Amino acid sequence: MKGLKKIACLLLAMLMILSMAACNPTNPTEKETEKQTEKATEKTDETEAPTEYQFPEGAEISIWMEGINYDPQVGISTRSEMLCWQTIEEMFGVKLNFIEPAYGTKADALSILLASNELPDLFYTKKADFDAHGGLDSLIEQGAILDFGEYIDEYMPNYASYLYQDGTFKSDDLQRATMTATGKIGMISPIMKTEQGPWLGYVVRQDWLDELGLEQPVTYDDWHEVLTAFKEQKGATGALWLNARGSDQVGIFGAGYDITGLGSTVANAFFQKDGKVYYSCLEEGYKNYIAMLAQWYSEGLIDPDFYTSTLIRCEKDMSLIASGKVGACASSINYFPNYATTTGVEGMNFQPVTYPVLEEGQTTHVRIVNTIICDEGWVISADCENVEMVCRWIDALWTQEAIDVLNFGKEGVTYEIVNGEAQFNDMVMNNPDGLTKYQARTKYASTAGMVYDWMRDGFTEEVLNTQNHLWLDTNDGAYVIVNKSLTSEEGDEWSSIMADVDTAAVEWTVKFITGQKSVEDDWDEFISIIKSMGIERAIEIYQAGVDRYMTLPVK
């Protein structure tokens, strides 16, 4: 590999657990999203007439993506078996060689790969996954990945028409979300066809609540009452599901304490108030939150082996939902409506609830913000031998035909064009093999379409009401850090510090919750340890990155 340096720093990240999820937000501020949605719609219109793409005979592209979370009912173990990617291969005549580390292992796999001398042509993953390695600027400087900015004008006209108007970015927010601190483009990210509200929140077994004569929980005291009833009267041995970091995917269960949990990535524990950056573990609210979880764990309300899980959400293993051990968890709007059908458990009814609070009427401030630009995308490695061909292939994914294929599968097989718009047909919506709508969609379509149509699942009004009101009206998202922009040097220093801090934070959080350490007696030692590791310097760096992002664009 060309000029790869600082391998020791890269390997530090092998201890981190990073998430892979569907498209999470790294995007413009909410009051700008309406304008950005209009831009996205403009782009969709512009790509309706696809450009003809011809690639060399025998062309191949190697692509690194996290492995599929295998579902035996779906029966797909690799993306090469997915109809959408097979159709993309047929459309453009380019063979795609997928390199897919096992689901739940991508953090370690990415660290090992970046330290090797054999990189694939392309990565498709979350931007946050590269934070552990100094960020995109650092990897460009090290010679591990390339700057797309050098190739867009010449090889990527479709993408350029989305980014630019009259030679400049269509908006400052679009430039902020696209460019690094030094003005490079290290990742090409999909956009949403329409703005997506918060797609993750908490759900509980409504059928159990009804049977036991309980109301939906609002305060943490309510939650304690409900979880206790689930344990004692329904036999739920892990009534509240937590991931191995003692959190949920983005740390929202702690929002009522004015902090965020550790989430599923190292960055999730950072938040801001009025522009000032904080790290949750240093806050009194986090101490009180963990003390509460420790009490609940001692009472048997949390899965006793939560710290061994490799999942970012328990619904990634539906056997947990089917087992009756879980009564409440964080869920995606794509999943919870299908729990009963997927598990085959008669009468199962998970319903969404508001974010837990200390007192009724409290507004929380940590959630997934509205999304218009995804926080994942394509990254090209410096080992790519045919940069022009690979760039043109990515650009081909911006044509309307390719957008439809990645979102819906294959025309005439899994979707039809109705009034000029692609729509799933009965192969997905009423699958003849008994697959749920979500299972069929994961078998035939992808989330990697460059214009991602998240509404393709045909959500009911009830589900959309959940997203737009239940998970939105009581949480203003004011503490969320929308994005940051670190220089190469800052990224390297921050990732080096946080490799140690995050490991310690997870270790001590788990020990506090499980009672191996006492919150009352041992908390000061924990704080002393992460301060000695440089957490205060990491906050300073993060603050600089947030400030810089808000003062971009780079002219």
List of residues 6+ apart from 140 with CB closer than 8 A? 146, 147, 180, 184, 186, 488
**What pairing do the DSSP bridges indicate for beta strands 60-64 and 122-126?**
parallel
The helix/strand/coil state of 411 is strand
Mark whether 317 and 335 lie in a shared domain: yes
Mark whether 363 and 383 lie in a shared domain: no
Phi-psi region of 105 (alpha: psi -120 to 50; beta: other; left: phi over 0): alpha
- Tell me, yes or no, whether 14 lies in a domain: no
Mark whether 175 and 206 lie in a shared domain: no
Say what the pLDDT of residue 37 is: 38
d(CA 60, CA 352): 45
With 0-12 CB in 10 A as exposed, 13-18 as middle and 19+ as buried, what is 485? buried
- Tell me, yes or no, whether 355 lies in a domain: yes
- Tell me, yes or no, whether 137 lies in a domain: yes
Mark whether 85 and 182 lie in a shared domain: yes
Mean pLDDT per 10-residue segment, the chain (555 residues): 40 35 40 39 37 84 92 88 96 96 90 91 93 90 95 94 86 84 91 82 96 97 98 96 94 95 92 96 98 98 94 84 93 83 89 94 87 88 96 95 95 95 93 88 87 79 75 86 85 94 98 98 98 98 91 59
Mark whether 55 and 74 lie in a shared domain: yes
Amino acid identity for residue 488 in this structure: S
Number of domains composing the chain = 2
Mark whether 398 and 494 lie in a shared domain: no
Q: Which of 418, 452, 486 is the last residue of a domain?
A: 452
Say what the pLDDT of residue 52 is: 63
The interaxial angle of helices 400-408 and 83-92, nearest 10 deg, is 160
Mark whether 268 and 309 lie in a shared domain: yes
Mark whether 212 and 336 lie in a shared domain: yes
Mark whether 224 and 328 lie in a shared domain: yes
Would you give the DSSP letter of residue 553? P
d(CA 472, CA 465): 10
pTM as predicted: 0.75
- Tell me, yes or no, whether 46 lies in a domain: no
Say what the pLDDT of residue 8 is: 37
Q: Which of 436, 452, 468 is the last residue of a domain?
A: 452
Write out the DSSP string of 87-129.
HHHHHHT-EEEEE-PPTT-HHHHHHHHHTSS---SEEEEEGGG
**What's the CATH number where 387 sits?**
3.40.190.10
d(CA 303, CA 331): 17
Mark whether 243 and 323 lie in a shared domain: yes
- Tell me, yes or no, whether 34 lies in a domain: no
Mark whether 385 and 361 lie in a shared domain: no
Mark whether 174 and 230 lie in a shared domain: no
- Tell me, yes or no, whether 22 lies in a domain: no
- Please name which of 505, 449, 552 lies closest in space to residue 137, comparing C-alpha atoms: 552
d(CA 143, CA 178): 20
- Tell me, yes or no, whether 6 lies in a domain: no
- Tell me, yes or no, whether 318 lies in a domain: yes
What are the CA-CA distances from residue 89 to residues 64, 233, 485 (Å)?
16, 53, 35
Range of the domain at 264: 200-367+476-550
Say what the pLDDT of residue 23 is: 43
